[in-house]
Amino acid sequence: MIKVEKNSEKSNPKPQEKIACGAGGGLCFVNWKCINIKARCLFSGGVFDLNFFKCMWRKDYDCPHEDIRFFLYTPTVRKGRLIDITRPKSVFRAGFKAHRETAIIIHGFNGTQTSKHIMFLKDAYLSRKFNVFAVDWERISAYPCYLSSLSNTKLVSQCTAQLYSFITFTGSRSKQITCVGHSLGAHICGMMSNHLTKRQHKIIDPAKPLIENHASTRFRLTKDDAKVVQVVHTNAGFLGQSSFSGTIDFCINGGQTQPYCNGDQIKQARCSHFLSVCYLANAIFARSHTSMAFRCPNGCVKNNRIPFIPMRYSGRNRGRMKYYRIGQDTPDDCAAVRANYLQVQVYSATRQENQGKTTNLCGKMLMTMKIFLISTFVGGGFVIYAQAQHLLAQALYLGDPNSYNTSKEDCVWKRGNGEDRCPDADIRTILYTSGIVKERFVFDMDHPDWLNDTEWEPAKENIILVHGYAGGDDTLPIAVLRDAYIKHGGYNVFLVDWGALGQPPCYVAAVYNIRPIAACLSQTVMKLRRLGLPPDRTTCVGHSLGAHICGLMANHLNFRLERIIALDPARPLIKPGNMNRLDSGDAKSVQVIHTNAGHYGEGGRVGHIDFCINGGRRQPYCGNSTNINLCSHIWAVCYLAQSIFEGMEPMAEPCNRRCPTNVLIPPGRQGRGRFGYAIGYAIPMGQKTPMSASGSYCIKDTTPPFCPTSATSPGDLRCCI
């Protein structure tokens, strides 16, 4: 149930790489034809295969089988290769590494291994350096032959069990292997246990028709099929199984009908059923930290409501709560863990209406999903309810290596000293134009007239956005700022994605790489200038390490940018000297916004004009966060996003030559003198700061910036805390 805007054809000398996205960013279709996927119910059009001779019933159980194929995707060979497990060398040539974790993905009825929702999941696992095997049994699971497909699952499970055994034979441990099946594919994962001596790991959203009430436990998923059987319910009781079959069951938005799905009952069911894959892919991509948990009743809740939770709890409410993570990061022993007392804040658990339209449901969830987990003991397992909410707090855990499946061995170190070639595939520049984030243009250095063949508008101001450590395209917090500029409509937005060179836990490598990144970015900017980009209408906006990249880029340009806006430029491991960091000579106007000075952010004056927010060191609304310094560092992005819109610009007044030394602002002690204000006029901070302004300015504001106060006011829910 994914609708994507159709791209218009352009007569370019070289085809553009266009990517269709949902509003607010997220998963994207790269070089795919954009189509409308019509929702058709499983039971429409005579789904039951009454024509016995038309459908393919496999009674032979010889494996390998010509109708069951295995495709391997790896971080080094991302284009799927058909493999033959009887020829092990071909598997290793495709990039398989036994030390990596492995995911086996199995599609359901009327699916293929190239189905878009399966591709979402594949890309999510590849982002975490998994070996990914996609099982293709399309030939014996085609529409409308549901009965024969159901019968054929026995053969598929037997052949896939051979694949599983082959993987363990290479040296992989069973704990490193996850079987992920959608719909009938989930039951195939479970049935594999009939052919294995070791148990597996995770399953998602099993199908209901002709299985839940009639199938033997030998021919469907049960909680005994793996050490951890994780079930994600998104359409329980219709196309999905309503009973709890796992050691841990997630009910998303009640587990029955998803609020993002529109249309009649059939369309909503079909859409909700496929969204289970999107939720799991989101959890894998985002690598979200633990989410808030509460007790819940037995069974998935009807009408998308979580009972026993009022509209708003106060922070004083306590209960036996514990944090758990959804998806690949769910603890293996979660079913045996008793919750401790935790102080929690409960948000409204009702269905969210009017959250904005989107043309890409998976993409929407990547940017808007926060999962609240509500847990209790039910039949020896947990039942967990997940509620989609706004999400910027995930960025608070970017520095937690336990949230990632990467190690120092995965770090990328550029050669430096001018020895790196540009353009670099790991450094992309992507143009976004006005309107919703529905398509974007990836810069092509070899295209002779790239800028004019895109939707770039010469009359608009140009913004070059550079993310920081652990960032990337469609990641938080930079996505908040990108979306704000696009929503305003008055800017051409160029986002620089260097995420492959700064993934966790590789902060040291990321710092080392900023100089070669800046060198390559300067070549991109100079090419854009030759194509018509005016430097005097161009601003480079960088957050954290991205701020230093904006400054270092200037060392390679033969002209000066109009302005650099540095959002809490990074402090750790940044060497002294103008050749290693941002300084006031890097643009005609260098503006710096301090929100965590002296910790994650630079402590002293850096630019022509420096703004210190709430003392510049720690933000008062971050006091209850897990990491107050990281929270303060990240929220600089929201201050600039707020300054873009007319009438919302934060106003700052002159103050001391550097940020004051106070840490937090106790209530009742927020007097003007505390910041050492000087006599002078207040000026707007951010996008509308006068070019001629200089000195140090201070702002006191104890509320989270850019957090909407009403349904119609500008803002972004991801900036609320």
pLDDT band at 642 (very low <50, low <70, confident <90, very high): very high
Contact 38, 3 (CB under 8 A): no
Beta bridge partners of 494: 431, 464
| Same domain for 261 and 222 | yes
Contact 261, 1 (CB under 8 A): yes
Residue 655, in any domain of the structure: yes
| Same domain for 28 and 95 | yes
Which of 226-230, 457-461, 547-551, 626-630 is predicted least confidently?
226-230
| Same domain for 381 and 488 | no
Tell me what pLDDT residue 222 has. Answer: 61
pLDDT of 267-291, one tens digit each?
Answer: 888 888 777 788 788 778 755 443 3
Quote the CA–CA distance of 41 and 36 in Å, as a whole number: 16
Length of the chain: 721
* DSSP assigned state of 570: B
| Same domain for 230 and 191 | yes
Q: Which of 640, 643, 653, 639 is nearest to 695 (CA)?
A: 653
| CATH code of the domain containing 284 | 3.40.50.1820
In this structure, the strands spanning 102-106 and 131-136 are: parallel
pLDDT of 131-143, one tens digit each?
Answer: 999 999 998 988 8
Q: Which of 312, 320, 316 is nearest to 295 (CA)?
A: 320
Structure tokens at 486: 């696009």
| Same domain for 358 and 419 | no
Residue 619, in any domain of the structure: yes
The residues, ordered by sequence, that sit 6+ positions from 370 with a Cβ below 8 Å of its Cβ are: 288, 291, 387, 388, 389, 390, 391, 393, 394
Q: Which of 307, 231, 310 is nearest to 276 (CA)?
A: 231
Residue 559, in any domain of the structure: yes
| Same domain for 101 and 50 | yes
Residue 564: Cβ within 10 Å count: 31
pLDDT band at 23 (very low <50, low <70, confident <90, very high): very low
- Assign 715 to helix, strand or coil: coil
Tell me what pLDDT residue 327 has. Answer: 57
- Assign 235 to helix, strand or coil: coil
Tell me what pLDDT residue 230 has. Answer: 75
Which of 209-213, 414-418, 625-629 is predicted least confidently?
209-213
Percent of the chain with pLDDT over 70: 64
| Same domain for 425 and 389 | no
In the chain, how many domains are there?
Answer: 2
* DSSP assigned state of 305: -
Quote the CA–CA distance of 287 and 402 in Å, as a whole number: 10
């702002």: which residue's tokens?
699
* DSSP assigned state of 207: B
Q: What is the CA radius of gyration of the chain?
A: 26
Could you write out the DSSP letters of every residue in 460-520? SEEEEEE--TT--TT-TTHHHHHHHHHHH-SEEEEEEE-GGGS-TT-HHHHHHHHHHHHHH
**Of 367, 395, 423, which one is at a domain's C-terminal end?**
395
Average pLDDT of 500-509? 88
CA-to-CA separations, 644 to 317, 537, 685, in angstroms, rounded: 38, 15, 10
In this structure, the strands spanning 461-466 and 538-543 are: parallel
For residue 423, is it left (φ>0), alpha (ψ between -120 and 50) or beta? beta
Whether the predicted pLDDT of 627 surpasses 80: yes
| Same domain for 216 and 150 | yes
Structure tokens at 377: 């003991």
Residue 93, in any domain of the structure: yes
The residues, ordered by sequence, that sit 6+ positions from 119 with a Cβ below 8 Å of its Cβ are: none
Structure tokens at 459: 């009359």
Tell me what pLDDT residue 373 has. Answer: 33
Tell me what pLDDT residue 645 has. Answer: 92
Percent of the chain with pLDDT over 90: 31
Residue of 195 and 4 predicted with greater confidence: 195
Average pLDDT of 71-98? 89
CA-to-CA separations, 388 to 116, 163, 501, in angstroms, rounded: 22, 36, 31
Tell me what pLDDT residue 39 has. Answer: 30
- Assign 74 to helix, strand or coil: coil
Quote the CA–CA distance of 439 and 7 in Å, as a whole number: 8
Tell me what pLDDT residue 221 has. Answer: 54
Tell me what pLDDT residue 94 has. Answer: 86
Residue 311, in any domain of the structure: yes
Residue 269, in any domain of the structure: yes
Whether the predicted pLDDT of 300 surpasses 70: no
Give the burial class of 131: count Cβ atoms within 10 A of its Cβ; 0-12 exposed, 13-18 middle, 19 or more buried. buried
Residue 308 belongs to domain spanning: 18-395
- Assign 331 to helix, strand or coil: coil
Quote the CA–CA distance of 321 and 382 in Å, as a whole number: 13
Helix (H) or strand (E) holding 205: none
Q: Which of 594, 719, 607, 720 is nearest to 661 (CA)?
A: 594
Could you write out the DSSP letters of every residue in 351-419? PP------S-HHHHHHHH-----B--EETTEEEEEE-----SGGGGGTT-GGG-S--GGG------TT-
| Same domain for 531 and 662 | yes
Residue 528, in any domain of the structure: yes
pLDDT band at 546 (very low <50, low <70, confident <90, very high): very high
pLDDT of 177-194, one tens digit each?
Answer: 888 888 888 888 888 888
Residue 60, in any domain of the structure: yes
CA-to-CA separations, 649 to 329, 549, 684, in angstroms, rounded: 40, 26, 6
pLDDT of 379-407, one tens digit each?
Answer: 233 333 333 333 333 333 344 444 455 56
| Alpha helix stretches (DSSP H) within 531-593 | 545-553
Average pLDDT of 43-70? 65
| Same domain for 374 and 464 | no
Whether the predicted pLDDT of 70 surpasses 80: yes
* DSSP assigned state of 34: P
Whether the predicted pLDDT of 26 surpasses 60: no
Tell me what pLDDT residue 498 has. Answer: 95
| Same domain for 171 and 60 | yes
Beta bridge partners of 609: 591, 695
Whether the predicted pLDDT of 591 surpasses 50: yes
| Same domain for 514 and 458 | yes
Give the burial class of 284: count Cβ atoms within 10 A of its Cβ; 0-12 exposed, 13-18 middle, 19 or more buried. buried
Residue 290: Cβ within 10 Å count: 17
CA-to-CA separations, 210 to 52, 192, 216, 219, 691, in angstroms, rounded: 17, 19, 11, 11, 69
pLDDT band at 531 (very low <50, low <70, confident <90, very high): very high
